[in-house]
A and B are shown apart, each in its own frame.
Chain A
């Protein structure tokens, strides 16, 4: 039962353009969502997160949008840079206190072409 899904295994964009990575979830108990970036042979690096009480969170070039009714979130990267090329994982957790397990999607390989 895949509770967090990233339906696009890969995405290719031109440098300077916008990258949009999508994520869908099925578990209504999820109330906190995170995006991680992962390079080969390294651990995931935290990028940005959003609580279910918000619909948008922005941090520099990264913006996450949450549509609770559709159970959908997206990560926008603008402008995209070649160094952004990596696998991006969407993750979700349930529970109001710290210390909740993360449920991950399968990842989207982003390639930013110079």
Chain B
């Protein structure tokens, strides 16, 4: 019974490169969320997706960041032209599509380092 899976666990990119972070939700979960944790801070919501739909992207930076959750395959968080300030831990969470199910279950995170 695999939990939320994220890869890669660690990613190093030079300034200006692209970063792609992948997330596979728990089996049976159809809701995916992305959060970012900057050093010494709490987790900040970025985006909430269901299959083929972005439901809430109010936490996403306006430029360079995008997310998708295709019909087949994992959810992808894409950061174009990375800058040093993008260095952070990026966590994916999932939840089931059950009325009243409010808990979200997190993956181990991807630690992005921009050099």
Contacts and interface: CB of A to CB of B under 8 A. Distances in A.
Interface of A: 4, 32, 34, 36, 41-46, 49, 89, 91, 93, 97-107
Contacts of A97: 99
B14 interface: no
Nearest to B10: A41
Interface residues of B, number: 34
B35 to A, nearest CB: 8
A46 B102 contact: no
B108 A101 contact: no
Contact of A43 (B50, B101, B106): B106
User: Which 3 residue pairs of A and B lie closest in terms of their CB atoms, listed nearest first?
Assistant: A43-B106, A104-B42, A106-B42
B4 A99 contact: no
Given A104-B42, A104-B44, A99 B105 contact: no
Nearest to A99: B31
A98 B58 CA distance: 17
A90 to B, nearest CB: 9
A101 B56 contact: yes
